[in-house]
Amino acid sequence: MEIKIALLLHFYQPWWQYQSVLERIVNECYRPILNILKNVNGFCFSVNANYALFELLEKAGFDDVICGFKTAAKLGKIELLGSTAYHPIMPLIPDFLQRASLEKDALLKQKYFGIEKNCNGVYLPEMAFSQKAISLLKSMGYNWTIIDDEQFDFEYGYAPHDHIISLDDFKIFFRSRLWSNRISFFEIPTFEKLWERMKYEIPIWTQNKPLYIILAMDAETFGHHSKDKNNIQDILIPMIAKLRRDNIIISFEELMNKFPVKIISHICDGSWSTTKNDLRHNCAFPLWNYNKHHKDLWKLANIAFDCSTLSHYYDQLLDDYDPSQSNLLNDCMKIATSCHWWWLAKEQGNWDPEFAKFGARLAFEIIKKFGNHEKIEKAEKLFKKIESLKKD
């Protein structure tokens, strides 16, 4: 089996995360993973980590974790992608806020932590992709991203594995939902069993032709989400050791040069969670834009984004940005955090409106400060509806 594997770990916590929870995540997940990097030379895996996380780590005094990322990126042990400052669903927010989210992530990570991306790829939160974003991404120097293979399979009937997809002169890699979820959902307890299953199933699928597979998941899958399964020791460490030893692990930048390119003209919108059934019903982002609670929060957020002709002040706000101070752009980026809507996805089993209220309260404060009477009155009705939601 002639195979290359790209492994992406997504490190992220929302800006309001409780310090006690963050401390557990750091000790159970981040430090153990960074310790793996300390003990090896050369490339290990690809990483997304946004400004919101580093801001939290600094406030909590976890300077060693920040330094671990910085050192690993500088030494080329990780391929560090570009990101967004506060993890929004990019296709669902205004254009100016999309650009600000990308610009501020790069600027602030470099300015305050000396951390810079070391590749030309960008990670889109929740792998929420829309073809309309490509021109923006290209204008900022990015030339590739990773999305889930379900939407491509829905449209084209297969998952790319022996060629690289190019859309509007922009490369797109596809996460294997099958193999990534087998790890993320703890279906296979050890890397040894995972590898045996791959060696058996993949040649049947590819007829023994050279291929690549992309594994992408939350970093918190290891250690924090699986405290009783010890999957850092049982899966991650032996996986990295095996893939490095056999020259299987590969960065995305290297992967682009290993396989031929196929040009396509369209990919439908979608995310890591979007199913074919969702796409049949024209619902590209079901965890963030599906039910009446989602809609109410989007209405409230969009009133806040519209207030005080925010886009008019965009350039000035970029120049004057100070993360220690509250300002319109900073607050609007925080409102747009995807977690606020994720916790309102009741039909999908994600229901804790208390977390959504962090975004709703910030939105309402902006509207009260900058909105006219009509906007304040409309926003107050929406805000009260969201505030009245209770966890079952």
Tokens representing 364 are: 């309402």
Distance CA 176, CA 163 (A): 14
Pairing outcome for strands 170-175 and 164-167: antiparallel
**Which of 367, 362, 368 lies closest to 387, judged by CA?**
362
| pLDDT over 80 (residue 312) | no
Distance CA 168, CA 134 (A): 7
Residue 213 has a pLDDT of 98
User: Which residue is associated with the tokens 């801001």?
Assistant: 55
Q: Which tens digits make up the pLDDT trace of 250-286?
A: 999 999 999 999 999 999 999 999 999 999 999 999 9
Distance of CA 203 to the CA centre of its chain: 30
Distance CA 298, CA 291 (A): 11
CB burial class (10 A; 0-12, 13-18, 19+) of residue 291? Answer: middle
Distance CA 157, CA 386 (A): 40
Residue 311 has a pLDDT of 46
| Mean pLDDT on 321-334 | 74
Q: What angle do CA 165, 97, 358 make, to 5 degrees?
A: 110
Amino acid found at 62? F
Q: What angle do CA 32, 105, 57 make, to 5 degrees?
A: 35
Q: Which H or E run includes 166?
A: strand 164-167
Which carries the bigger pLDDT value, residue 333 or residue 312? 333
Distance of CA 343 to the CA centre of its chain: 16
Amino acid found at 231? N
**Do residues 146 and 173 touch, judged by C-beta distance below 8 A?**
yes
Tokens representing 138 are: 């290209």
Helices (H) and strands (E) in the chain, counts: 19, 9
Rg for the chain, CA atoms, rounded:
21
Q: Which H or E run includes 225?
A: none
Q: Which tens digits make up the pLDDT trace of 11-52?
A: 999 999 999 999 999 999 999 999 999 989 999 999 999 999
Provide the edge-to-edge strand list for the sheet that holds 78-80.
78-80, 45-49, 3-11, 211-218
| Percent helix, strand and coil across the chain, each to the nearest 5 | 55, 15, 35
Domain boundaries, the chain: 3-280, 292-387
Q: How confident is the model at residue 360 (pLDDT cuts 50, 70, 90)?
A: very high
Q: Which tens digits make up the pLDDT trace of 47-87?
A: 999 999 999 999 999 999 999 999 999 999 999 999 999 99
Q: Which tens digits make up the pLDDT trace of 200-253?
A: 999 988 888 899 999 999 999 999 887 666 899 999 999 999 999 999 999 999
| pLDDT over 90 (residue 309) | no
Q: Which tens digits make up the pLDDT trace of 126-163?
A: 999 999 999 999 999 999 999 999 999 999 999 999 99
Distance CA 101, CA 6 (A): 26
Residue 319 has a pLDDT of 53
| Mean pLDDT on 363-368 | 95
Distance CA 208, CA 351 (A): 44
**Which of 90, 148, 150 lies closest to 289, judged by CA?**
90
**Which of 315, 339, 338 lies closest to 328, judged by CA?**
315
Tokens representing 233 are: 């020791």
Q: What is the pTM of this model?
A: 0.95
Tokens representing 30 are: 């981040």
| Mean pLDDT on 166-191 | 96
The H-assigned helical ranges of the chain are 19-25, 31-38, 51-59, 63-74, 95-113, 134-139, 149-156, 177-184, 191-206, 231, 237-245, 252-255, 276-280, 292-306, 314-320, 328-335, 339-342, 353-370, 373-387
Largest CA distance in the chain: 67
The CATH code of the domain at 3-280 is: 3.20.110.20
Residues counted in the chain: 392
Cβ neighbours, 10 Å, residue 110: 13
| pLDDT over 90 (residue 195) | yes
